[in-house]
């Protein structure tokens, strides 16, 4: 006999997997590849400065490009929410329409205002990348997350690499003009927009559209078990008031996020994500203008931007792959590793600022991107290894939002005509100083941790005071607390490796939690 009002506990069964998931994943990866086929993208800056458009370098540097940071900050949060609420496909279609708008404005626009609208639509495409990154998790069961995420990421990287190589070959070997190259890019984008229209729209998503555990056999969300109060309403009652339920879930997630950020390693890598991503994207936004300063030319065959982009993409993929094999005690050495990598990036930025050799400039850019991409998967694992899927999405979303806000502030002060309006060379000196300050801060913090650790070797410490990985610290908290909510925060999906700073990610696979010492 079951007491009245008490629900019968049923065994949790995994979410059903679509029978056609192989075809859907293949089609999504093909779409991801084709959406990156924009061979003219590496040559947009010389196209704007060339005789076809005849904008001045000051207009491009101080009036056009700064709009990208401002508009990205404005559209980031709304598109993140719409991506989940509308279940991915409409946002992918919006991304395709925005890409087409970008290239139509690029080809037909004649004023600074047209180019500013171009930057706005490009910011929409950047914010919409979350839809592609998240879509694949709605097609397969959690056991396949890691492999499928790898497939989708590989499709994007292969698309970027192929696009850059194709653009460079068409310009250098084929001798075609930048205008014709942009028309070819527009053709590829129209084709990818058609592909987006044929994508299947999932029935569930991460936050707003969940499968019911009884009717669909899906397990309840981990968020539903966070901080269950004594008067918490039942799940069936929450379904009757979806708006209140969403507000309640978000409030609980924010409280849980604040609790998680007390873990030193999570806090460290979150700060790295915010500050280093800001510097990384400032370099990415303005390096093409710097190349036109170092090698001003009206001949399209003498521009090798596509080759530099292709090589940097290839090195980024290799660096991200190699990061998975680095086996050190991150709880002890993380700050020093970050300090060394950031110092190397500072040196490369100074080389970009000081050199007058375009080939050295290309090489510095390739290595700069490679160093950043080496730490991205490590940061992703360190942040996601002890978080639930929902909290991972929130953490990476908040990180990206704060990085975008900081990027916007620096752009307003340094680049915008309403601020200092510095020329691009002077901007790179500012960015060099920015990376120097970061590397010194990481170095001081790392040496302090190392000094404390060596002191601790001479006296035994309780287990709770030892340096641990985030997962070990989380486990210790779970054992010491009287609430069961933190014990439910076990990862059930692998992390993405977001090169384009998407809003969401999935956590590391469960088997990694069985070897915390190796990753520590």
The predicted pLDDT at position 250 comes to 57
Give per-residue pLDDT as tens, 167-192: 999 999 888 999 999 999 999 999 99
The predicted pLDDT at position 371 comes to 93
Contact assessment for residue 410 and residue 282, using Cβ atoms and an 8 Å cutoff: yes
The predicted pLDDT at position 408 comes to 93
Determine phi and psi for 54, rounding to 5 degrees: 65, 35
227 against 131, higher pLDDT: 131
41 against 476, higher pLDDT: 41
Residues 403-427 have a mean pLDDT of 91
Give per-residue pLDDT as tens, 377-388: 888 777 766 666
CA separation for the pair 516, 375 (Å, rounded): 19
Whether pLDDT at 209 is above 60: yes
279 against 259, higher pLDDT: 279
The predicted pLDDT at position 152 comes to 79
Contact assessment for residue 342 and residue 439, using Cβ atoms and an 8 Å cutoff: yes
Residues contacting 257, CB < 8 A, separation 6+? 391, 394, 395, 398
**Nearest CA-CA partner of 281 in 344, 372, 396:** 372
The predicted pLDDT at position 431 comes to 95
Q: Tokens 């975008």 correspond to what residue?
A: 404
**What tokens does 53 get?**
């458009």
The predicted pLDDT at position 254 comes to 62
Determine phi and psi for 347, rounding to 5 degrees: -60, -40
Q: What is the 3-state secondary structure (H, E, C) of 264-319?
A: HHHHHHHHHHHHHHHHHHHHHHHHHHHHHHHCCCCCHHHCCHHHHHHHHHHHHHHH
Whether pLDDT at 55 is above 60: yes
Highest averaged pLDDT of the listed ranges 57-61, 228-232, 493-497: 57-61
493 dihedral zone (left: phi>0; alpha: psi -120 to 50; beta): beta
Burial of 150 (0-12, 13-18, 19+ CB in 10 A): middle
CA separation for the pair 221, 513 (Å, rounded): 20
Whether pLDDT at 119 is above 80: yes
Contact assessment for residue 37 and residue 159, using Cβ atoms and an 8 Å cutoff: yes
Residues contacting 64, CB < 8 A, separation 6+? 48, 55, 112, 115, 116, 118, 119
Which letter does DSSP use for residue 494 in this model? P
399 against 488, higher pLDDT: 399
Whether pLDDT at 71 is above 90: yes
Q: How many residues in total does the chain contain?
A: 520
CA separation for the pair 465, 473 (Å, rounded): 9
Q: Tokens 């609208």 correspond to what residue?
A: 117
**What tokens does 345 get?**
């990036």
Q: What is the CA radius of gyration of the chain?
A: 24
């Amino acid at each position: 006999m079951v007491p009245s009002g008490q629900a019968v506990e049923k065994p949790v069964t995994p979410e059903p997997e679509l029978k056609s998931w192989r075809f859907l994943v293949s089609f999504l990866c093909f779409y991801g590849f084709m959406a990156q086929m924009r061979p003219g993208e590496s040559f947009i800056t010389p196209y704007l400065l060339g005789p076809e458009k005849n904008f001045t370098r000051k207009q491009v540097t101080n009036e056009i490009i700064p709009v990208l940071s401002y508009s990205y900050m404005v559209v980031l949060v709304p598109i993140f929410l719409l991506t989940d609420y509308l279940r991915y496909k409409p946002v992918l279609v919006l991304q395709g329409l925005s890409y087409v708008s970008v290239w139509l404005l690029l080809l037909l626009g004649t004023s600074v205002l047209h180019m500013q609208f171009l930057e706005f639509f490009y910011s929409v495409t950047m914010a919409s990348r979350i839809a592609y990154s998240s879509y694949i998790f709605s097609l397969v069961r959690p056991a396949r997350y890691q492999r499928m995420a790898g497939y989708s990421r590989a499709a994007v990287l292969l698309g970027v690499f192929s696009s850059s190589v194709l653009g460079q070959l068409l310009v250098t070997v084929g001798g075609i003009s930048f205008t014709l190259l942009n028309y070819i890019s527009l053709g590829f984008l129209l084709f990818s927009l058609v592909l987006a229209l044929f994508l299947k729209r999932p029935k569930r998503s991460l936050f707003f559209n969940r499968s019911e555990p009884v009717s669909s056999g899906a397990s309840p969300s981990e968020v539903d078990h966070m901080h269950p109060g004594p008067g918490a309403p039942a799940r069936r009652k929450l379904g009757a008031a979806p708006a209140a339920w969403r507000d309640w879930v978000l409030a609980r997630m924010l409280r849980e996020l604040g609790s998680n950020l007390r873990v030193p390693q999570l806090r460290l890598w979150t700060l790295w994500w915010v500050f280093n991503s800001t510097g990384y994207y400032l370099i990415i936004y303005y390096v093409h203008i710097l190349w036109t300063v170092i090698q001003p030319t009206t001949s399209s065959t003498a521009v090798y931007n596509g080759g530099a982009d292709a090589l940097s993409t290839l090195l980024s993929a290799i660096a991200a792959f190699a990061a998975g094999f680095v086996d050190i005690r991150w709880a002890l050495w993380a700050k020093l590793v970050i300090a060394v990598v950031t110092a190397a990036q500072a040196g490369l930025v100074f080389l970009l600022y000081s050199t007058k050799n375009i080939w050295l400039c290309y090489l510095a850019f390739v290595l700069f991107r490679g160093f950043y991409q080496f730490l991205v998967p490590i940061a992703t694992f360190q942040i996601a290894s002890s978080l639930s899927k929902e909290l991972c999405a929130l953490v990476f979303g908040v990180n990206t939002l704060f990085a975008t806000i900081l990027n916007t502030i620096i752009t307003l002060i340094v680049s915008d005509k309403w601020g200092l309006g510095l020329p691009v060379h002077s901007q790179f000196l500012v960015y060099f100083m920015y990376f120097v300050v970061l590397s010194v801060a990481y170095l001081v913090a790392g040496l302090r941790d190392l000094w404390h650790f060596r002191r601790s070797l001479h006296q035994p410490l309780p287990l709770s005071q030892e340096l641990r990985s985030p997962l070990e610290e989380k486990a210790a908290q779970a054992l010491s607390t009287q609430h069961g909510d933190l014990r439910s925060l076990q990862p059930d999906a692998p992390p993405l490796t977001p090169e384009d700073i998407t809003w969401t990610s999935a956590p590391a696979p469960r088997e990694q939690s069985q070897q915390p010492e190796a990753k520590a």
